[in-house]
Chains A and B, each alone.
Chain A
Amino acid sequence: MSELKRTQLYAEHVAAGATMVDFGGWEMPIEYPGKIVAEHLYTRSACSLFDVSHMGRILVDGTEAVPFLQHVLSSDAAAIAVDQAQYTIIPNERGGAVDDAYLYRFEEKRYLLVVNAANTDRDLAHLESQIGAFDARITVITGDYAAIAVQGPKSDEILQVLTGGEAVTEPKRNALRSLDFEGRSVHVAHTGYTGEPLSYEVYIRSEEAVWLWRRLIELGAKPAGLGARDTLRLEAGLPLYGHEMGADPEGKEIPIFAVPLARFAVSFAEHKGDFLGREALERQWEAAQRIKSGDLSDVSALPRRILPVKLTDKGVMRAGMPVYNGARQIGFVTSGTVVPYYQFSEEGVPTEETGRHAIGLALLDSGLAAGDEVEVDVRGRRLKAAVCARHMKAEGPYARPVL
């Protein structure tokens, strides 16, 4: 096995006593000594830091950068102005996902595509194979900058100490801003993978990464690992490639429109032209419209969809477990665990009281909807579960649980 890669913050994680694991070829912290549950809760009530420097960062430029992006991405790359970002998917011809990604436009003529660490090499090969006659250039710049996700209700006030009171970004999701943190230049995105209404991702030159990490901790943020990152994204209902995208537990490719977020990531705008996977995606979209109106006569393009589920019996569901309706198997759990939550006061703020519940996401036959009762086969035991609309909702500065 080749040697694991390390981020600019590796020594900080080790010094803090983090448990380090191989994650997509990177040696990353899964949790710090305080452990996942406390890290999850601290994100929901205050502010956590996540080292996301391992994520693949690909710079796209050239006179035909936009037409190229329109061809290889599901979203409308022409729709973002400077200082805006968008969630996007890299589709294949069959309407499945090569990866999901975020497209940032910090500069007029250069686009930054951020992809999953484990998929970076494959994404790159795919993009290279599609570049053809486009006058566009792709360059991997992963090592040039560190990336720190600053997530949670206190993230704004913490970052504003560093900006000297200036607004971090425009107060809307996907807004970007290039600015100074106490004299060091940074690029900030109002984005994240935790479902937190106040959530930022900060890009800073590699040599300044340790300074920023330590400064943020000094200001009250606490480091959190990949374990909490996963429970937070699951609670927020956000997809993870390899679970809700890519191959399902039977090895079949999951259609992009099976993921609820796809409707924000796919554009059929006329000016976008004939992009890779468009035809298949249009068939999926039409099937999604029929399913929405209750017409299940033709769901071949979208036989199953990802829905949030919660266990009503005691236990824990995990990725890969079959889901049943009576004797009939209707799908699989794609992600599942137990997540902690705060009880909220009547005023809508988190109290000291916490609880835990077993939740998940599942790939279920089209036609199932929130409120339906199902059963999960947990290692031979049938446990009762219910399809639900969501596990969490954003309210003011807080993400609060929907139980």
Chain B
Amino acid sequence: MTFPAELKYSKDHEWVKMLDGATALVGITDFAQSELGDLVFINLPQEGDEVTADEAFCDVESVKAVSDVVSPVTGVVEEANTELEDEPQKLNEDPYGAWIAKIKDISAFGELLSAEEYEAFIEKK
């Protein structure tokens, strides 16, 4: 399991990659995809959706169950990764390449951990 050092992580198992001071890509962590199992569907947010830190903004379905994806930031969806609609398995295969949404106008962050802190956090689980 990998946790790239340049990313920030939420306790709900999302990652954040800052593109500039107010824009970021978000996705789910390697730990999340591994726990969820084979992902077979994603219900993506729409461009223009306002998302709020610590609130669900998208859901993913594994073979077994549906799970909410909780936004790590407050902002506006600039773009959703529609490639994932046809290939949700990319979330399993390449969790840090398979970004879910690009969020702009970020005005607030939820609690974010460094890679090291996140790794320690999931080890306790």
Given contacts A227-B64, A316-B66, contact A338 B37 (CB under 8 A): no
A358 touches B41 (CB 8 A): yes
For residue A248, CB closer than 8 A to chain B, the reply is no
A227 touches B41 (CB 8 A): no
Shortest CB-to-CB span from A358 to chain B, Å, is: 7
A376-388 CB contact bits vs B (8 Å, 1 = yes)? 0001000000000
B63 touches A315 (CB 8 A): no
A227 touches B66 (CB 8 A): no
B41 touches A37 (CB 8 A): no
B37-78 CB contact bits vs A (8 Å, 1 = yes)? 110110100000000000000000101111000000000000
Interface size on B, residues (CB 8 A): 13
**Cα separation A37 to B40 with both chains bound (whole Å):** 9
For residue A337, CB closer than 8 A to chain B, the reply is yes
For residue B116, CB closer than 8 A to chain A, the reply is no
B37 touches A35 (CB 8 A): yes
For residue A201, CB closer than 8 A to chain B, the reply is no
**Cα separation A245 to B60 with both chains bound (whole Å):** 29
B41 touches A36 (CB 8 A): no
B63 touches A227 (CB 8 A): yes
B5-26 CB contact bits vs A (8 Å, 1 = yes)? 0000000000000000000000
- The chain A residue sitting closest to B59, CB to CB, is A379
For residue B85, CB closer than 8 A to chain A, the reply is yes
- The chain B residue sitting closest to A337, CB to CB, is B63
Given contacts A315-B43, A316-B66, A318-B66, contact A227 B37 (CB under 8 A): yes
Given contacts A314-B85, A337-B63, contact A31 B37 (CB under 8 A): yes
A316 touches B64 (CB 8 A): no
A to B contact number (C-beta, < 8 Å) = 40
B66 touches A338 (CB 8 A): no
**Cα separation A314 to B88 with both chains bound (whole Å):** 12
**Cα separation A337 to B89 with both chains bound (whole Å):** 15
Given contacts A338-B61, A338-B63, contact A316 B37 (CB under 8 A): no
Shortest CB-to-CB span from A107 to chain B, Å, is: 40
A311-324 CB contact bits vs B (8 Å, 1 = yes)? 00011101000000
Contact among A35, A338, A339, A379 for B41, CB-based, below 8 A: A338
Contacting residues, chain B, for A290 (C-beta < 8 A): none
- The chain B residue sitting closest to A338, CB to CB, is B40
A314 touches B64 (CB 8 A): no
Which residues of chain A from 211 to 252 have any CB-CB distance to chain B below 8 Å in the complex? 227, 231
Contacting residues, chain B, for A37 (C-beta < 8 A): 38, 40, 63, 89
A36 touches B85 (CB 8 A): no
Contacting residues, chain A, for B89 (C-beta < 8 A): 37
Contacting residues, chain A, for B61 (C-beta < 8 A): 315-316, 338
Contacting residues, chain A, for B92 (C-beta < 8 A): 35
For residue A356, CB closer than 8 A to chain B, the reply is yes
Which residues of chain A from 290 to 328 have any CB-CB distance to chain B below 8 Å in the complex? 314-316, 318
Contacting residues, chain B, for A314 (C-beta < 8 A): 41, 85
**Cα separation A30 to B63 with both chains bound (whole Å):** 11
A349-375 CB contact bits vs B (8 Å, 1 = yes)? 000000010100000000000000000
A36 touches B37 (CB 8 A): yes
A36 touches B66 (CB 8 A): no
B37 touches A356 (CB 8 A): no
A337 touches B43 (CB 8 A): no
**Cα separation A101 to B61 with both chains bound (whole Å):** 32
Pick the most buried of A227, A231, A316, A337: most chain B CB atoms within 10 A of its CB: A316
- The chain A residue sitting closest to B38, CB to CB, is A37
Shortest CB-to-CB span from A29 to chain B, Å, is: 13
What would 4 more interface pairs be, CB under 8 Å, given A31-B37, A37-B38, A358-B40?
Answer: A35-B37, A37-B89, A227-B64, A338-B63
* Chain B positions near chain A (C-beta within 8 angstroms): 37-38, 40-41, 43, 61, 63-66, 85, 89, 92
Q: Which 10 pairs across A and B sit closest by C-beta, in order of nearness? A: A338-B40, A37-B38, A316-B61, A36-B63, A316-B41, A35-B38, A36-B38, A337-B63, A35-B37, A356-B40
Please, could you name 5 A-B residue pairs with CB atoms under 8 Å apart, sorted by A? Answer: A35-B92, A36-B37, A36-B63, A337-B63, A356-B40
